Structure 1
Amino acid sequence: MNNRCWKLTLALVGVLASAYTEASFSRHMDDFIKAVKQVEDGDPGAEPVVVLRRLRRAAGLKDAFIQQYLGNADSNGPEMDAGLSDYISKVVQHRVTDDAREEGVVLTSDGTTVAVRPLLLGIEAGFLSKSNGRVRGLYQLTVAKDLNLSLRHSSPLTHRLGPDGCWDSLTSPQVFTLLDNPTLLTTAQVNGGMDGVVLGMEVSAKTRRPLNISSLLTEYYCHQLDKDRLDAAPRLISRRRRENFRGLLVPPVLVRQVMKSVEMQRRLNGQSKMEVKEKKQLVALLKEGMKDFVHMYMDCPPIIPRCMWGAEPYRGTPTNLSLPLSFMYIHHTHTPSQPCLTFQQCSADMRSMQRFHQEDRGWDDVGYSFVAGSDGYIYEGRGWHWQGAHTLGHNSIGYGVAFIGDYINSLPSQHSMGLVRDQLASCAVGGGRLVASFTLQGHRQVVNTSCPGEALYKEIKRWEHFGGIPN
């Protein structure tokens, strides 16, 4: 278990029983869970919905749209400590400032960033449901309303969704800065919305209702992987958010939920119903824009940006690739020889590889385009646009994708192979970075090397797009 999760576990069983002030909490999910636990401890025996309403009241989430689905947040519970209330307000209230700082988001132990507001609203909607599988307002409160604004009012298409960002510190995060121009729907908002949908649906099941919110969040965000990696991990963990969300919702359903959000907002604003022609035009616009959402957050794998794993700057001036490319080359790292199971270990492995490539080999940067960990994530190397140093003589025509670990006698996890084989490849083709008829090859097919290991090489020979004559 990583150090933050261990400290969190101690806090939740009462070892860290001292009161916290707003200043003592960071913008880490573990610290937010501690704050939730403190709210729960202040009102022993309170039902989860009561705790969620207290959190909503402290955060000032009382607009008519939210109340339409969740009701009024007023309650007669004990008064909340001022410092705790201030912290909750700052962590839950979402906004993007003029200098591209995103507030109302927290860093999770798996290395991703989550907006807290849609997460909590989705969970509360789930607890309020009266039947399993039908949660009133779930999608409107989590993703539909924000998705409507983004798809309708952002132009060009590249500015509709994202971006991700970077924290000032991974041990005590306080400031999150976006990597690109702010949009109306950031990656952190989508992550929080997806988690709100997944957990909201889960708690709506009468057989799955947890005793408290802090335990639910700890179980979801702080699960420790074992040696079998994600293949044997529970379904309900944050590292599986995209596959869980994809399993719950298909694009046409999401379009309908967005339309319901639009209609509710119009009604609350005292506007008349949309004319048939206007409604058809909006549905067509949303269907077109939904392709971007599906590509970015359902087809593509989750990718950890360079700044999050602690990359050193590129040395010199990178060479831009001429897209789309025609090849994807598969590697294993050999050293590090073991799969990485946590964000912390995978990040350390990425930094180690970069140091080796820059210092020992004299390259400008880590050689690979992308690297697959066994923690459920792809790590950005040189990325989509910079030419790598992965496959001698072929760096300008293909992406180099490595699996962390030595795969002479064993295979990467099925989950990590699926991320590369299915999602990364699909993401590259759908985004115009790889041609649809691209060829996938092992490193050994074009360079005199044993890479990507005998076991992995035999495996990729069965993958779609595999081609070429091996050396």
Structure 2
Amino acid sequence: MFPWLLLALSVCTRPGTAVSPTVPPRHMDSVLDILDALESPARGGSLGTAAALWRELGVCSTPGCRAVLGETPGTPERPPALTLGQWQLLTELLRHDPVTPELGVVLAPDGSTLALGPLLAGIEAGLRSGGFGRPLPTLDPPVDPLLAVTIAEALGTSFLLAGGGDNNATALGPGGCWDDAENPQNYTLRGPPSPVPDPVAIGAMDGVVLGARLARGPLPVVELIQGYYGTGNGSEAGRPPSSYRRRDFGALAGQGRLEKEVAAVLGLLRTLSPTPEFLRDVGAQEVAAVAHRAAREFSERYVECPTIMPRCLWGAQPYRGTPALLRPPLASVFLHHTLEPSQPCRTFGACARAMRDMQSFHQDTRGWDDIGYSFVVGSDGYLYEGRGWHWVGAHTKGYNTQGFGIGIVGDFTATLPDPDTLALVRDELLPCAVRSGHIWPNFTLRGHRQLRHTDCPGNALFQEIQSWPGFQGTPVALGLG
């Protein structure tokens, strides 16, 4: 089985066992504490010490990664700088063990869940490309080391295995849920896993972005990661750079380059002895077709479409009634502003709190079964799942079965959301909803006020959306129920 899959299937305790209270939570802040201890000269550590240790623990255990970064240095022992709990967490996150495939992912302060293995492999490739540590080998056929150790090998392998398996085999996804976003210990995928579930894709994208930064010049890994994700469960005031991962990854490894590198790394794997089983009897034409399909589908899912934070991550209460099923594709999208909260949320922590507050208001004060919106848009770069793609919402009375209700957090009577938030809806969410078959290509976009006596979505935002594709300017059925 492909090792990234084993690193990221889920994170949960074995039946009949308890998590030791000395083991830190599976949060990036815990990883930063560990790396800080390993890098600290005062404790006898260094950046090289940290990189060697995570390699020994199994960060680079696939054939392609070993060809690029070299064989594992040796058998690790616990450094004196780490507590027993920190050592247990690190070994669980990084050590490849087919018997316990529930290991390998952490929750970042921006709310994203990522596999630590491809992130650290990308960081090492970037460091060595930038002249820190041993030079990278010259390979034939040539491959980009950074893409090879993060995503290209995993992607090519996944699509080859899915293509050669049964009709239900998938090559990408799924995502999953944590037991507790404040104290994450257990992570469970929400469907049958592929070799590239969402956390592996996210960890690989971040490995490319941070590895490319290190290739321009080394700096402490703790400083790099902390500056990228932020700290403290997303409690800071500003949007972290990690929320731009899709844009930044796309700029570094667009679909054309990714396709080229997937084909190159599969070519590299064919030269190894023994050749991996899944590549036997696979010709050059099939490799090219797999690389094309893998790059296209990866880009559509992880670069061109926005991240949707699932209900389980923002702490949703259960639906109180029996949800009614939507029948997509739908013809309409209805845009709202939340009004309360009146200020945009710019971090995962703030947006998750806003979602819980709105759900409580909709359920407890208005008596609805659930939060009314289909999706809510934060100014942290993410969408938040409300009723979602499949269930009738309570956002636009009289029209809830005809379209999706999208709410943007804030009061946009006099001011607009920031340009990135507007682009998230206009340029990412709406085209993605068309491609995925949730709305018709000739959908109509309306502001809430066009269907009800209300100021929603605010004068400033309503003026803005009149220039968007799909906007239908004629008010319809004002004053209905």
Per the normalisation by structure 1, the TM-score is 0.85
Gaps of 5+ in 2: 1-19, 133-141
User: Partner letter of residue 91 of structure 1?
Assistant: L
> Equivalent residue for 2:264?
260
Which deviates further from its counterpart, 193-202 or 260-269?
A: 260-269
> Equivalent residue for 1:129?
129
Q: Alpha carbons of 1:405 and 1:135: their partners in 2 closer, same or farther (altered >3 Å)?
A: farther
Q: Alpha carbons of 1:94 and 1:428: their partners in 2 closer, same or farther (altered >3 Å)?
A: farther
Which deviates further from its counterpart, 108-117 or 282-291?
A: 282-291
Which deviates further from its counterpart, 194-203 or 70-79?
A: 70-79
* Number of residue equivalences: 439
> Equivalent residue for 1:372?
377
User: Quick one: distance in 2 between partners of 1:107 and 1:302?
Assistant: 15
Q: What does residue range 429-448 of structure 1 map to in structure 2 within 5 Å?
A: 429-448=434-453
For residues 98-151 of structure 1, give each alpha carbon's deviation from its aligned partner in whole angstroms, at most 9, with x where no partner exists.
9xx74200001111101000000001001111589x994211110111111222
User: Quick one: distance in 2 between partners of 1:28 and 1:450?
Assistant: 41
Q: What does residue range 18-417 of structure 1 map to in structure 2 within 5 Å?
A: 23-41=22-40, 48-59=47-58, 61=60, 64-74=63-73, 80-81=79-80, 83=84, 84-93=86-95, 102-129=102-129, 136-154=144-162, 156=167, 159-206=170-217, 209-210=218-219, 212-222=220-230, 230=239, 237-271=241-275, 278-417=283-422
For residues 322-342 of structure 1, give each alpha carbon's deviation from its aligned partner in whole angstroms, at most 9, with x where no partner exists.
111111110001111111122
When the two chains are superposed, the root-mean-square deviation of aligned CA atoms in Å is: 3.0
> Tell me, what secondary structure is at the counterpart of 1:435?
strand
Which deviates further from its counterpart, 327-336 or 35-44?
A: 35-44
> Tell me, what secondary structure is at the counterpart of 1:159?
coil
**C-alpha deviation, 1:344, in angstroms:** 1.4
Q: Alpha carbons of 1:369 and 1:272: their partners in 2 closer, same or farther (altered >3 Å)?
A: closer
User: Quick one: distance in 1 between partners of 2:32 and 2:123?
Assistant: 14
**C-alpha deviation, 1:38, in angstroms:** 1.1
User: Quick one: distance in 2 between partners of 1:293 and 1:311?
Assistant: 29
**C-alpha deviation, 1:375, in angstroms:** 1.2
Q: Alpha carbons of 1:79 and 1:329: their partners in 2 closer, same or farther (altered >3 Å)?
A: closer
> Tell me, what secondary structure is at the counterpart of 1:242?
helix
Q: Alpha carbons of 1:78 and 1:313: their partners in 2 closer, same or farther (altered >3 Å)?
A: closer
Which deviates further from its counterpart, 356-365 or 117-126?
A: 356-365
User: Partner letter of residue 300 of structure 2?
Assistant: H
User: Quick one: distance in 2 between partners of 1:45 and 1:160?
Assistant: 43
For residues 190-237 of structure 1, give each alpha carbon's deviation from its aligned partner in whole angstroms, at most 9, with x where no partner exists.
00000000011111013xx21x1111111111078987x55xx7xxx2
**C-alpha deviation, 1:270, in angstroms:** 2.9
**Is contact 1:135–1:204 with CA below 8 Å preserved after alignment?**
no
**Is contact 1:332–1:406 with CA below 8 Å preserved after alignment?**
yes
User: Quick one: distance in 2 between partners of 1:123 and 1:386?
Assistant: 41
**C-alpha deviation, 1:266, in angstroms:** 2.7
**Is contact 1:328–1:441 with CA below 8 Å preserved after alignment?**
yes
**Is contact 1:25–1:31 with CA below 8 Å preserved after alignment?**
yes
**C-alpha deviation, 1:172, in angstroms:** 1.8
> Tell me, what secondary structure is at the counterpart of 2:373?
coil
User: Quick one: distance in 2 between partners of 1:114 and 1:278?
Assistant: 33
User: Quick one: distance in 1 between partners of 2:42 and 2:442?
Assistant: 60
User: Quick one: distance in 1 between partners of 2:297 and 2:168?
Assistant: 8
Per the normalisation by structure 2, the TM-score is 0.84
> Tell me, what secondary structure is at the counterpart of 2:444?
strand
User: Quick one: distance in 1 between partners of 2:439 and 2:98?
Assistant: 33
> Tell me, what secondary structure is at the counterpart of 1:114?
strand
For residues 295-315 of structure 1, give each alpha carbon's deviation from its aligned partner in whole angstroms, at most 9, with x where no partner exists.
211111011000000111112
**C-alpha deviation, 1:71, in angstroms:** 2.7
Which deviates further from its counterpart, 371-380 or 86-95?
A: 86-95
**C-alpha deviation, 1:54, in angstroms:** 2.0
**C-alpha deviation, 1:370, in angstroms:** 0.4
User: Partner letter of residue 426 of structure 1?
Assistant: P
Equivalent pairs: percent with the same residue? Answer: 38
User: Quick one: distance in 2 between partners of 1:191 and 1:317?
Assistant: 34
User: Quick one: distance in 2 between partners of 1:73 and 1:399?
Assistant: 51
User: Partner letter of residue 80 of structure 1?
Assistant: P
Which deviates further from its counterpart, 53-62 or 249-258?
A: 53-62
User: Quick one: distance in 2 between partners of 1:51 and 1:452?
Assistant: 50
> Tell me, what secondary structure is at the counterpart of 2:471?
coil
User: Quick one: distance in 2 between partners of 1:72 and 1:55?
Assistant: 13
For residues 57-91 of structure 1, give each alpha carbon's deviation from its aligned partner in whole angstroms, at most 9, with x where no partner exists.
13474555333212345389996147344321211
**Is contact 2:337–2:409 with CA below 8 Å preserved after alignment?**
yes
> Tell me, what secondary structure is at the counterpart of 2:404?
strand
User: Partner letter of residue 268 of structure 1?
Assistant: L
**Is contact 1:93–1:117 with CA below 8 Å preserved after alignment?**
no
> Tell me, what secondary structure is at the counterpart of 1:23?
coil
**C-alpha deviation, 1:276, in angstroms:** 11
User: Quick one: distance in 1 between partners of 2:21 and 2:342?
Assistant: 42
User: Quick one: distance in 1 between partners of 2:76 and 2:97?
Assistant: 28
User: Partner letter of residue 123 of structure 1?
Assistant: I
> Equivalent residue for 1:3?
none
> Tell me, what secondary structure is at the counterpart of 2:57?
helix
User: Quick one: distance in 1 between partners of 2:392 and 2:414?
Assistant: 30
Q: Alpha carbons of 1:60 and 1:179: their partners in 2 closer, same or farther (altered >3 Å)?
A: closer
**Is contact 1:150–1:184 with CA below 8 Å preserved after alignment?**
yes
> Tell me, what secondary structure is at the counterpart of 2:191?
coil
